[in-house]
A and B are shown apart, each in its own frame.
Chain A
Amino acid sequence: MKYIFKRLSVLLLFFAALLVFTPFNAQAAEEEEGFQAGPFIIEHVTDSYGWHICGDGDKSVTIPLPIILIDDGHLVCFSSGKLHHGHAAYNGYAMGWGDQKGSIVKLDSDYTGHLTEGENYAVDHVCKFNISITKNVCALFISLILIATIFLTVAKRYKQHPDEAPSGLQGLVEPVVVFLQEEVINPSLGDRAPKYTPYLLTLFFFILLNNMLGIIPIFPGGANLTGNIVVTGILALITFFITNISAKKEYWVDIFNTPGVPWWLKFPLPIMPFVELIGIFTKPFVLMVRLFANITAGHIIVLGFISLIFIFGQMSPYIGYGVSVVSLLFYVFMGVLELLVAFIQAFVFTLLSAIYIGTATEEHEESTELA
């Protein structure tokens, strides 16, 4: 235990040091045009075509990620490094600006070269089928490999040493799996649990690991994957489909002919069925928004504290250094809080998914509503 604390504290110190030293290289560049906290924060919580490591502007170190498009029926692949963070075009492809920010646009010529800011370039169309390996997709792949490796390793250990005391990674994973099975999945699903256990476990560990990777400020962490509406939306959508496809007759009866409700709420104007029908969609919608908002909000607060250093640093470097101490303390506090949130949100998402599926697949009369 003592050893782990030692390791953790070393890790924390490392990150703290990293945060202290980033202002030094960044400050020089910021002074030229002034620091804008809003765009800085949004840039860090949204997706991008390259994985920014450190530095700023032309001096920045960024891992270029491949851009993959299917445009006019042709597969187009090139490195995002060729676009120079939107300051260049390659074969007529460029990063969108204004309303098209975040997408890849095709200019009306096959121009390759520098794009001057403020100049008006004619856009032919926005590339719709854009399956580029963006920062978030890359983080997704990393987390997938990590999760698959962890659990295949653990599974191998179970296979090779059956009925033995858990050790190593297995000892870390097993209590969590047992907790989920005994406290979340089995109570919500009863005897239907085995059918849905694989999905719910995958869901929990996917969210948890990505939440935690999101807290790590540098590569391979730092991508705001579970704070991306698409990721949480797809997870919520899967829960939505599982809930409604595996739902029993009683579930639909509860929705269209809710028992224990006066008839006049159902008959001429189907108010209750309408409300219940909306409920089908609000539940996964809330799942999506809850996870997205919690994780994104945590990141925005952390980035806000970091921005404070730059904002005060612009007034006077000494105030910047002074504020950095306070900011750092708040950052550490938020980091710990985010770690807690990482667990809680993964747990809540899994618990609610289990309850939704559980109530939908319940066969007997009384249904316990929890939402």
Chain B
Amino acid sequence: MELIKPSFGLIFWMLIGFGILFFILAKFAWPVITNGIASRNKKIQDQLDEAARVHAELENMNQKYEEMLADAKAERDAIVADARKVSEKLYEEAKLKANNEAQAIIDDAKQAIYYEKMKAITDVKNEIANFSIDIAQKVLKEELSDKERQEKLIEEWVDNCKLN
């Protein structure tokens, strides 16, 4: 029965030893360890909460940004459409104006051509008259003898030289 016979020495040392161990650990180890774990747990939880909060904030900001972007796009489209409209109008106006101007220039040119033509015709008529006089002089020099014939000739020429 040696196995279950308690020995006084071991009881004595066990009480003292376990007592000292309990005292040391309860005073210097367990509070530090348990508080350390609790404090770290709290810190981690706080940081997780903070991260979740920041994430939500970021999400919110992102949404705002998206909204702003959509607004800006719409505005841009409106501006571009306006600009296009204005430019088209301007183009039409410019085209119209150019057409009118061109028409005016053409008209002017036509008129100028008409005048020039008239002038040329008049010149030609004058020239022809001069030619006629020259020819008449030459003919007259040759045919001075026969007055009747002379007159007949002049009349024939003048009739033949009908212009237009």
Q: Which A residues form the contact surface with B (CB < 8 A)? A: 42, 45-47, 68, 101-103, 128-134, 136-137, 140-141, 144, 147-148, 151-152, 154-155, 158-159, 162-164, 173-174, 177-178, 181, 194, 197-199, 201-202, 206, 228-231, 233-235, 238, 292, 296
Contacts and interface: CB of A to CB of B under 8 A. Distances in A.
A272 to B, nearest CB: 31
B25 A147 contact: yes
B87 interface: no
Given A155-B29, A177-B37, A198-B26, A229 B13 contact: no
A96 B106 CA distance: 149
Interface string B1-34: 0111111111111110110111011101111111
Contact of B8 (A129, A159, A206): A129
- Interface extent on B, as a size class? 35 or more
23 contacts: A102-B2, A102-B7, A130-B9, A131-B12, A141-B13, A144-B18, A148-B21, A151-B33, A152-B28, A155-B28, A155-B36, A158-B32, A174-B33, A177-B33, A177-B37, A181-B34, A198-B30, A199-B22, A206-B18, A206-B21, A229-B3, A233-B6, A234-B11
A148 B22 CA distance: 9
Nearest to A177: B33
A101 B3 CA distance: 11
Contact of B25 (A133, A141, A148): A148
Contact of A174 (B8, B15, B20, B37): B37
Contact of A158 (B6, B18, B36): B36
A147 B15 CA distance: 16
Contacts of A101: 2
B8 A130 contact: yes
- Is the contact region of chain B dominated by helix, strand, or loop, or is it mixed? helix
Nearest to A164: B40
Given A136-B10, A151-B33, A230-B7, A144 B20 contact: yes
Nearest to B40: A163
B89 interface: no
Contacts of B43: 163
Contacts of A234: 11, 14-15, 18
Given A148-B21, A230-B10, A234-B14, A154 B5 contact: no
A240 B132 CA distance: 164
Nearest to B5: A102
Contacts of A133: 13
Given A158-B32, A177-B34, A198 B25 contact: yes
